Structure 1
Amino acid sequence: MLTIIVVGGGLGGLSAAIGFAKSGHLVILFEGRDNFTELGAGIQMPPNFTKVMHDWGLLEHVRAKATMPKSIIFRSYRDGQVLYEHQLTPNMEDDFGMPYLMIHRKDILGVLVKAARQLRIDLQVNSPVVKVDSENQSVTIASGETYTADIIVGADGKRSLCRSTIVGSDQPQPTNTLVYRFTVDPGVIRQEPDLRYLVDPPSGIFNVALTRPDPESGRVQIGPRDADLSELQEFFSDWDPTFLKLLHATTQYLIGDAAHATTPYLAQGASQSMEDGAFLQYLFPSNTSNEEVANRLTVFCERRKLRALAVRAQAQRAGEMLEMEDGPEQEKRDLLLRQDHPIEGFPIAHADPVLQSWLYKYGVQRDVKVGMENQRG
């Protein structure tokens, strides 16, 4: 049994903690805030995400809090004309064995926190880590207490103390893209005849995520910030009138934040965190010795970096196809969409059968095995 310290209690930190605990290791998690909270609104859970939930025995708990979207509809921004509709239910379960779900961030966090407690993970809130000593494999929290471990996992966000301790100054790079997230009361939507279909059948929340170029070139936006509703209404003022009704239906303040390192066009940011946790579970069985830790961490870095960078590249491509400016290439794209013949390289990544198979049929245990075999030579 190893002793593991996890710094940070977000989705990534909790998934790593659960993965290690599932293998029988002693896990302590430090969260700087006084409770477990997630900023943001809805989060998509593609089949590779729900596969991890299933394997951890949490899928039914997730289903109880989640909604199951029927399809993803791609429309023209000009007039709302449907360009392509990709079925999610029941297609995802039929093709990949797992559902495609939508859940509020606080709800999935709650499921993970409950699971962590049942696994007897030591969850210490209001315990910000102020020092990481990589040489002595220890962390010091604000109260002055120091803890040592065989492995320290840094999951402490964009301003990561763990990362800066290991690699020094690590300045984030601008994405030049903003993401706006907010929810709209379904009751308000039902009052608009043109929008009523969006909440039929009724669901608990209606989540909206919008992307746009950052008007301040080169800006690094770390963490969420309040956003003025009027700036969105002005930017989208000449878009589809029905869409504008939705935009004007919200009375809630928006949250604006920079697009993640993994841009949101494939809904894979949180999914990759879940895969990380599952990978750690199988990479570090309960009989792992301290002498093996360094080599196994090398396998984690090599295999997960390979996967994450490939996912990021595909997400960037998906965004480029969706945000194509009007012109000949956009017209060619729209023609391909209307032909409704998804093949490899299809303009809509969610419907590309080769990409989706690679993305959703990823086997964590298989990848761990490949990594270990490669290391043995």
Structure 2
Amino acid sequence: MKLKIIIAGGGLSGLGAAIALRQKGHDVTVLESASRLAEVGAGIQIPPNSTRVLKEYGIYDEILKYVVWPKSIQIRRYATGEILDRTHLHPRLSQVYGFPYLLIHRADYQRILCQYAEKLGAKVLLNSPVDSVDEAGPSVKLANGDILTGDLIVGADGIKSRTRASILGSENPEPVDSPDCAYRAVISREAMLKDPETAALMDDVNCNCWIGEQGHIMAYPIDNGQAYNVVMPHPGKATLGKWNEPGDLNEMRQNYQTYDPVIRKVLEKVESVLKWKLAEMPPLPRWLSNNGRVVLIGDAAHATVPYLAQGAAMSIEDGAALAESLDLADNMDMVPFVLKAFEEVRKPRCETIQSVSRGNGDVWHLPDGPAQVERDSKMGKGLREQEEAEAEEKLDSNSNRWSDGSFQPWLFGYDTVSETRTFVKKRLSPSL
């Protein structure tokens, strides 16, 4: 069954969904408010549960032209750089789960998704901000007054979603501000190589995370090794939903003046910095309109703080799960039922990710003191046990959730297509 589907939002979630839905034969139009697709300069992590989906889409090989393959995520003591914990990524995750953990520039990621969506026949309309959504149509009213009608509206329009506001009405909760905002900066390879200590970070391909009181620094190479990405959460204010607000370089460096001298050298190389507000959505009462013709995905449904590096991955999973769910509908009457099943399979997973991400931030940002000493001790013990366990090809319980023996397979080993089809078929077995 071919549907006419309108997607509000041309970010990673909307474009990923466009690809998945076009591959199932649907007519897809993406509405993007920006006049051009231009992701701000920053890196993003693509974990195995996401690279699995990209391979399903058929763009894995194109993605590989622009990525860095990190060997590990290293959790470091903020003041000294001492490694407290480590999660091995490459080649271990490919060996265990069949798919790698990758690092990429956001602009490359969005461009590849957009180009492939258009190649498949999706229409991407820029400068088309959504004003409101009418579930009865279902239809979308643009800011210029134009109205577009389809069989299904997909709200992929971010944490300040107009789609969510339209379908939830008085039930629509406000985003929950965290006390933090984050600086983002990208440094050229040339600048990093001018100092032996910063050059070592550029060429020793790892994600390094310095954790300290009320903040941390996550840093890693991107752009096929031609740039170094730095993300710096800290207590502060910024505009919710705005990703490219200029930050103050001196203020940024002041926030991290007690950190490891090596990472401070990196910050001295930053020429400009952006900042954005960290926030999340509370659990929504539902992702689906009452008539089952409007559905939310991505940050519109489950925006999360970035302390597990899974926000974009959940958005990519959403698009694949949505396409697989709709593929099991034989007629329009079945669409609300398969979309309800989509919500039921996705909502618990995404809300668990939100909770664990929030918990990671709480643990990472402890002030120096007894709780911090206990945390560091547990991490050190976990690191030793992990090294032994990996030698025996197994993982035990670990306070580092990326390395936890039960959580890591649930996180990285998830097969969105298979899990969704199995779940939806089971839910709809009386109807099929």
TM-score for both structures, normalised by structure 1: 0.93
Q: Distance in 2 between matches of 1:232 and 1:187?
A: 22
For 1:241-288, what per-residue CA distance to the aligned partner results, in whole angstroms no more than 9, with x for missing partners?
222111111112333332453121211000000000110121111863
Runs of at least 4 residues off by over 4 Å: none
1:177 aligns with 2:177: no
Note the 1:253-264 alignment, pairs <5 A. Answer: 253-260=273-280, 261-264=303-306
Counterpart position of 1:188 = 191
CA contact (8 A) 1:23 1:286 kept: no
1:234 aligns with 2:254: yes
Q: Distance in 1 between matches of 2:396 and 2:354?
A: 18
CA contact (8 A) 2:182 2:232 kept: yes
Q: Distance in 2 between matches of 1:356 and 1:172?
A: 28
1:51 aligns with 2:95: no
CA contact (8 A) 1:40 1:255 kept: no
Q: Could you tell me which amino acid in structure 2 is paired with residue 182 of structure 1?
A: A
Cα shift at 1:321: 2.3
Q: Distance in 1 between matches of 2:63 and 2:353?
A: 24
Counterpart position of 1:132 = 133
**Among residues 321, 345, 351, which one is paired with 1:309 in the alignment?**
351
Q: Distance in 2 between matches of 1:90 and 1:189?
A: 25
RMSD: 2.0
Counterpart position of 2:421 = 368
Q: Distance in 2 between matches of 1:310 and 1:40?
A: 29
**Secondary structure of 1:99's match?**
coil
Note the 1:72-111 alignment, pairs <5 A. Answer: 72-111=73-112
Note the 1:1-377 alignment, pairs <5 A. Answer: 1-168=2-169, 170-200=173-203, 203-214=225-236, 221-224=240-243, 225-260=245-280, 261-285=303-327, 288-339=330-381, 340-342=384-386, 344-364=396-416, 365-376=418-429
Q: Distance in 2 between matches of 1:208 and 1:288?
A: 47
Cα shift at 1:111: 1.0
Q: Distance in 2 between matches of 1:95 and 1:16?
A: 27
Cα shift at 1:192: 1.6
Q: Distance in 2 between matches of 1:288 and 1:270?
A: 30
Q: Could you tell me which amino acid in structure 1 is paired with residue 268 of structure 2?
A: H
Q: Distance in 1 between matches of 2:264 and 2:128?
A: 44
Cα shift at 1:344: 4.7
Point out the more displaced range, 269-278 or 139-148: 139-148
For 1:194-216, what per-residue CA distance to the aligned partner results, in whole angstroms no more than 9, with x for missing partners?
221111168121101111123x5
**Secondary structure of 2:99's match?**
coil
Cα shift at 1:338: 2.5
Q: Distance in 2 between matches of 1:155 and 1:308?
A: 15
- When residues 170 and 39 of structure 1 are mapped into structure 2, their CA distance, relative to the original with a 3 A threshold, is farther
Q: Distance in 2 between matches of 1:344 and 1:333?
A: 17
Q: Could you tell me which amino acid in structure 2 is paired with residue 293 of structure 1?
A: V
**Secondary structure of 2:385's match?**
coil
Q: Distance in 1 between matches of 2:161 and 2:74?
A: 37
For 1:270-316, what per-residue CA distance to the aligned partner results, in whole angstroms no more than 9, with x for missing partners?
00000001101211118631111111111122221111001111112
Q: Distance in 1 between matches of 2:359 and 2:143?
A: 43
Q: Distance in 1 between matches of 2:241 and 2:134?
A: 25
Cα shift at 1:141: 2.7
**Secondary structure of 2:25's match?**
coil
Q: Distance in 2 between matches of 1:159 and 1:84?
A: 36
CA contact (8 A) 1:11 1:270 kept: yes
Q: Could you tell me which amino acid in structure 2 is paired with residue 292 of structure 1?
A: M
CA contact (8 A) 1:43 1:102 kept: yes
Q: Could you tell me which amino acid in structure 2 is paired with residue 209 of structure 1?
A: V
Cα shift at 1:94: 0.9
Structure 2 alignment gaps of length 5 or more: 205-223, 281-302, 387-394
For 1:109-152, what per-residue CA distance to the aligned partner results, in whole angstroms no more than 9, with x for missing partners?
11111111121012222222233221121113344432211110
Q: Distance in 2 between matches of 1:146 and 1:221?
A: 28
